[in-house]
Structure 1
Amino acid sequence: MAADGIAIVAGRGALPRLIAEDCRRRRIPYRVVIFEGVTLDWLPGHPVLHEIFEKPGKLFADLRGAGCGVVTFAGGMTRPKLKPTRFDFKFIGMAPRLLSGLKAGDDATLRMVAEIFEAEGFRIRAPHEILRGLLVAPGVASRLHPGPADRVDTDRAFAIVTALGAADVGQCAVVAQGLCLGLESIQGTDAMLEFVAATGAAYRRDPAGGRGVLYKGPKPGQDWRIDLPAIGPETIRRAAAAGLAGIAVQAGGVLMIGREDCLATADAAGLFLWGYEPEPAEEETA
């Protein structure tokens, strides 16, 4: 295998499967990297490397042996519970940096992991650089369009996510009638939408007002090669179950997994899908 093979570090969700299938279809050499504790049901038919978090020395050697010079991170991952008795020499050498980084926010942690791979000579590529058509384009993609109240709520949600993102906390929020009904934390988007479904109706003050908007966007200064926010059909179903009017995402900065399924799900549920373009920040003048 040539040194330009792609290592797909696979987590939960459909994205790693879609990338692997695309590589296979286009005859691009690749390996699916599965860490201990990650269970996927689509692996038969794909070349797989089984790895252990505590043994990066083996991981790097396996990647080089397989001719993988490119690494992409795809799908949701849970922070590992490390076992010091299994650390290899490579991990021991990196331990102070790794253990400190794992206590930081998600973006800082993933940036640190990417830097470690790059120090070993691997190139990091974003999923959307490999599988084309993933990024949400500007404009409304669904049949239903956001109304004036929805646009105001989206502006408010964007401001909230931008402020929290600066502290490396979360990539999405739900706002209805100007009130923040939910914020994403380490539990993820699904847990936030479940919370909104259970509690949000009590805070919608005006029955004729906006039902609420889920907004998602990357954090300020985020490395767009890793952990860009994503939506899929399940996100849309959960937003509908929470009684929301629609979903807005930062245009060009969010992945849509299964575009046709997403649009069909949104249209069937009566939700809008909007590639939101924030107004450029005004420069301060002296």
Structure 2
Amino acid sequence: MLALVAGRGGLPLALASALQRAGRPFHVYALEGFAPDLPDVTLFRVEALGRLLRDMRKAGISEVCFAGAMQRPPVDMAKLHPLSLSLVPRLMKVIGKGDDRLLREVIAIFEEAGLQVRGAHEVSPDLLAKGALGRQPTEAERTDAARGAEILSALGPLDLGQGCVVAGGLCLGVETLQGTDAMLGFVAETRGGLAKTAGVFVKRAKPGQDLRIDMPTIGPDTVTAAARAGLSGIAVQEGAVLVLDRDTLSRRAEEAGIAIWAQP
């Protein structure tokens, strides 16, 4: 059986729907305070991570898929469960070393417990970005997208975000811990007359990122936010970005005149 360790947003809902259509049994777990809008969710705390792993094995769980937005919760060491004595300190040691380092440690802990970690793209391959999702991009938009890919590649070793905005070759914003919506909101508020072209939002996996967890994702709300920021394109990495509610996303892109495409 598969455990869906779910957070907020549309991805857990999309995966649950895909699993139901496929007739695959699964159970949903969520950190307290970050539960998705799904039935029969088992809540847990980081302080009781060891107990969670034990209970998963007892329930016949053999695979785990992480999906959805979660923030780093406060940890009360006074509430540490005996089975978590060696686990939580491992997480605390890497919590300030960037998302990628922390998530790799989470994967290691679950795999050491005998649970196989599956990526959302393995659970539902249809979610992967490929081809054109909106109108075809112009040459200027492709040039800005290529510049954005260069910027994200250079920032990769610093373990920052998965996106940036480029207009006329100028970088108007870089995604950080606050996320995509915050970056696009910043661009909308501050771009003024900085660039002569509309610009492109570029979304890619970090170089060397383990795509089984925290895979880049776009959805209809991404298109709305990009339009508010005055952008004319969204370029995503083919095979490394998930697309939620593809039909609604494409419709909004067409209404806003935004090109959306996947590139290597």
- Residue pairs, 1:22-33, within 5 angstroms: 22-33=18-29
Instruction: Kindly indicate whether residue 105 of structure 2 is the aligned counterpart of residue 112 of structure 1.
Output: yes
Structure 1 residue 96: Cα displacement = 3.3
Please say which structure displays the higher CA radius of gyration: 1
For 2:217, give the aligned amino acid.
A
Which residue, 229, 253, 258 being the options, matches 2:245? 258
Look up the match of 1:56: 49
Moved over 4 A (4+): none
Answering whether residue 154 of structure 2 is matched by residue 167 of structure 1, we say: no
Give the Å deviation of 1:91: 2.2
Aligned to 2:187: 196
Aligned partner of 2:59: which letter? Answer: A
Which residue identity does 2:167 align to in structure 1?
Answer: A
TM-score, length-normalised on structure 2?
0.96
Distance in 2 of aligned mates of 1:77 and 1:174? 24
What does residue 217 of structure 2 align with?
A: 230
For 2:44 and 2:16, the matched residues in 1 are separated by 17
1:126-275 alignment, distance < 5 Å: 126-137=119-130, 139-142=131-134, 144-204=135-195, 206=196, 210-275=197-262
How many angstroms does 1:10 deviate by? 0.5
Alpha-carbon shift at residue 251 of structure 1 (Å):
0.8
Q: Is the 8 A contact 1:15 1:74 kept in 2?
A: yes
**Structure 1 counterpart of 2:73:** 80
Contact 1:217 1:250 in 2 (8 A): yes
Shift of 1:66: 1.9
**Equivalent residue, structure 2, for 1:35:** 31
C-alpha contact 2:51 2:84 (8 A) present in aligned 1: no
Alignment match, 1:71: 64
| Structure 2: gaps of 5 or more residues | none
Q: Which amino acid aligns with 1:187?
A: Q
Report the counterpart of residue 281 of structure 1 in structure 2. Answer: none
Aligned pairs for 1:81-96 (under 5 A) are 81-96=74-89
The answer to which of 89-98 and 156-165 deviates more is: 89-98
Percent identity between the aligned chains? Answer: 44
Q: 2:158 and 2:50 mapped to 1: Cα distance? A: 32
Report the alpha carbon displacement of residue 140 of structure 1 after superposing the two structures with TM: 2.4
Distance 1:39 1:9 in 2: 9
Report the RMSD for the aligned CA atoms in angstroms. 1.2
1:49–1:62 CA contact under 8 A, matched in 2 = no
Q: TM-score under structure 1 normalisation?
A: 0.89
User: Unpaired runs of 5+ in structure 1?
Assistant: 278-286
- Contact persistence 2:6–2:35 (CA under 8 A): no
Q: Which whole-Å deviations, capped at 9, do the CAs of 1:35-87 have from their partners, x for residues lacking one?
A: 111143x323xx42221111012211221122111000001110111111111
- Distance in 2 between residues matched to 1:181 and 1:268, nearest whole Å: 24
* More helix by percentage: 2
Query: How far apart are residue 131 of structure 1 and its match?
Result: 1.3
Structure 1 position 183, deviation (Å): 0.3
For residues 256 and 201 of structure 1, the distance between their equivalents in structure 2, rounded to whole angstroms, comes to 30
